[in-house]
A = this chain, B = another copy of it.
Amino acid sequence: MPVGTRATVKTLSPLDLEKVGAQIILGNTYHLYLRPGDDLISKAGGLHNFMSWKRPILTDSGGFQVMSLRGLRKITPEGVRFQSHIDGSYHFFTPEKVMEIQNKIGADIIMSFDECPPFPATRKYVEDSLQLTLDWAARGKKAHKYPEEQALFGIVQGGIYPDLRCKSAEKLMEMDFPGYAIGGLAVGEDKQDLLKITELLHGLLPEDKPRYLMGVGTPSDLLDNIDNGIDMFDCVMPTRNARKGTLFTAKGKLIIKAARYREDFRPVDNDCSCYTCRNFSRAYLRHLFSVDELLGMQLASIHSLHFYLDLMKRSREAILADQYEEFKHKNLPGLDEILDD
């Protein structure tokens, strides 16, 4: 899922997004609540109407953003009191409030309000935090007004403690959510620790419901976690890196500002069928970045999103053909390296 924090995937129009093959995008509840506000979005007929995006949308719960406001927030069993990063104004998120906001925003998939523990965190901290998140999940589920229209996912927490992750998954499954997210990872732990958790949950979470690994990751992270049964991902990496001039390709990351590309009239990736690769050279993209022209960020975002989404499309096809292992081992080498071509 491309990330559209503030009712737009940065630099791209909905038409661009359809063309790169986006089937669903993510919006951030915390940001949308602050600006333009959930009331305004509701008056506009919901986020789909407001931003003119006809395909599915998922909103996160704001839990991760609020927890990132170190020093600006206070957690109680009732909820989280926090100050806006924009103007310092005070706000209070409870599971019920977050559900009300997400009901107003009107995404197709919405998330339970959770506490996302920092990394590293003591076992005691994570255990207490997990209990809070489970209570909040139950309260949110109860407060959810449109369960037929909006699928509410539970979020598995528990840090890097396998038994806590198991407990979290089991308790959430008892509540019977239509889908399960795995939160609190990709926050600083080793990749191997992350993979241990998703592997563990692979054996626990129901096979017939979607599993969403939040905030992950690099192309190789995606391929490895698909192996562990993950169905959905979101990450700012393709778009954020693109805006800074790093483009993902099947052969590695291309640093477009490098001097070597000054007179390189080949496309970013010869085998790519995106608008950028069909029409523009590395030299042209490098020029746009050199003179700070915004079209550079757009063309880079189009390419990298197309690459990510195409990698997922081909993964699905490989799974259906029962050839995923082969596909993964063929595609992994060099994926996270700097392109040398």
Contacts and interface: CB of A to CB of B under 8 A. Distances in A.
Contacts of A36: 262, 283, 287, 290
A291 interface: yes
A309 B8 CA distance: 27
B294 A294 contact: yes
Contacts of A15: 275
Interface string A45-62: 100001110000000000
A44 interface: yes
A13 B293 contact: no
Given A36-B290, A52-B279, A279-B52, A284 B7 contact: yes
B265 A43 contact: yes
A11 B298 CA distance: 8
A10 B293 contact: yes
Nearest to A283: B44
Given A35-B290, A265-B43, A265-B44, A52 B284 contact: yes
Copies in the complex: 2
A44 to B, nearest CB: 6
Interface string A1-26: 00000111011111100000000000
A44 B267 CA distance: 12
A190 interface: no
A295 B290 CA distance: 21
A287 B41 CA distance: 10
A303 to B, nearest CB: 12
Contact of A40 (B7, B8, B283): B283
A284 B44 contact: yes
Contact of A8 (B10, B263, B288): B288
A281 B13 contact: no
Interface in A256-313: 262-263, 265, 275, 279-281, 283-284, 287-288, 290-291, 293-295, 297-299
A301 to B, nearest CB: 10
Interface of A: 6-8, 10-15, 35-36, 40, 43-45, 50-52, 262-263, 265, 275, 279-281, 283-284, 287-288, 290-291, 293-295, 297-299
Shortest 7 CB-CB contacts between residues of A and residues of B: A52-B279, A36-B287, A8-B295, A11-B294, A8-B293, A6-B291, A35-B291
